Amino acid sequence: MRYLLVDRIIECKAGENIQGIKNVALSEDFLEYHFPKNPIMPGVLLLEALIQLAGWLEASSSDFQNWFLLERVERCMFYGFAFPGDTVALELRRQLKTDLNVKAFSGLCSVNGKKKMSAEFSGSIIALAEIEDVEEQRRLFRFLTRAEAAK
């Protein structure tokens, strides 16, 4: 099973930063057991949403030649919960590293302006074509950014 945890990309500045949203729906199957009768979005899935956003930033910055692959989480702090019905604002910024083979990012998840999670992580870049159909990913990115609707 694969979770696509970015519902919309609001802004993307190639090679620098990206913003998106994740709408938490009560119908998402991961909420059934996390926790029974008191559903909250698992914190690790908030982290995964930021990691997916890093992938979209790398893809869009490289004409869909590259994708980000997580290798290390340097820091991850949780400040509160994301509940069904919440819209989680996702903000991600690329950090400069001295090692050119490593990409680093810092991210923030918030609901109604209140911080829920922050993280810093790094990893390597792989060829997008090795893991996905490039044209399908371009199409999905256009949908997530609503580029098709703007035409």
3-state secondary structure labels for all residues of the chain:
CCCCCCCEEEEEECCCEEEEEEECCCCCHHHCCCCCCCCCCCHHHHHHHHHHHHHHHHHHHCCCCEEEEEEEEEEEEECCCCCCCCEEEEEEEEECCCCCCCEEEEEEEEECCEEEEEEEEEEEEEEHHHCCCHHHHHHHHHHHCCHHHHC
Entry field: residues in the chain: 151
Q: Which one from 8, 10, 34, 78 is the annotated catalytic residue? A: 34
Q: Does residue 34 carry a catalytic annotation?
A: yes
Active site residues: 34
